[in-house]
Amino acid sequence: MLSSLRSPIHSESASRDFLERFLQSAVRAGENCSSFSQRRAPCCFTGACVRASYWSVPTCYALTLCSGSSLDQHSNNVSLFNLVEQINFRPGAIPEPGSMMPLEVHAYFHFKPSELGFSFDVRYVLVSVDTSLETSSDVFSYRSSTPRFRTRTMGLPLPPVIGAYELRVDWRVAGSVSWNREPLAWPIALIEMSPQPPRVTH
């Protein structure tokens, strides 16, 4: 379900102990570690909220849903087609929960030069605006090979209840347990409604 366009459109664990050992060895080697900044962010799971502290790897600077995209091989620029903020389902025709909605998830990350080479995991979460119910995607693993790292993931699981949602992106250093949630959110409404007859205008 995952399509990666390398560097760039792309893709367990270094635990906190691993990061501490890495940073200590970097300091001993005389490398500049000043670009690593600690931040605390809530890592939310269904019915629970856990706070974890990690070094700022990575930073998500763009998150969106669309129906398709194209990569220009010459300029390396990406074109997104039909940005999606609402999906309408016919009454009685809503697919089973967990069915993959035919959408592309685009998440673009930024790394400082000293943060390159890290392996990290990413998952996408639909969070209900009304109930905070969360529906997560599979976990995808990447390695930060370039300062700007673009990912395109095909398909998003349908939540068990339709309504208003926000798409969020979580990441963790490969091999760790706690997730770090980025502040970006993309609104998506899942609505059950009958098709409207065409309107005639003059």
Say yes or no to pLDDT of 46 above 50: no
Which of 22-26, 140-144, 192-196 has maximum average pLDDT? Answer: 140-144
> Which amino acid is located at 168 in the chain?
R
The per-residue pLDDT for 44 is 30
The per-residue pLDDT for 144 is 86
Residue listed under structure tokens 């005639």:
200
- Top pLDDT among 23 and 176 is at 176
Reported as a single tens digit per residue, the pLDDT across 153-166 is 999 999 999 999 99
Report the predicted TM-score, pTM, of the whole model to 2 decimal places: 0.69
The per-residue pLDDT for 56 is 56
Question: DSSP code of 85?
Answer: S
Confidence of residue 202 (pLDDT cuts 50, 70, 90): low
Detail the DSSP E strand segments found in 28-147: 38-45, 48-55, 59-71, 78-83, 86-89, 100-110, 119-128, 134-136, 140-143
Nearest alpha-carbon partner for 121 in 154, 100, 151: 151
The per-residue pLDDT for 188 is 98
Say yes or no to pLDDT of 1 above 70: no
Reported as a single tens digit per residue, the pLDDT across 124-141 is 999 999 999 999 999 999
Confidence of residue 201 (pLDDT cuts 50, 70, 90): confident
The per-residue pLDDT for 114 is 85
Mean pLDDT of the chain: 76
Domains and CATH numbers, the chain: 2-192 (2.60.40.3880)
The per-residue pLDDT for 55 is 52
Four-residue CA torsion sign, 70, 72, 73, 77: negative
% residues pLDDT > 90 (the chain) = 57
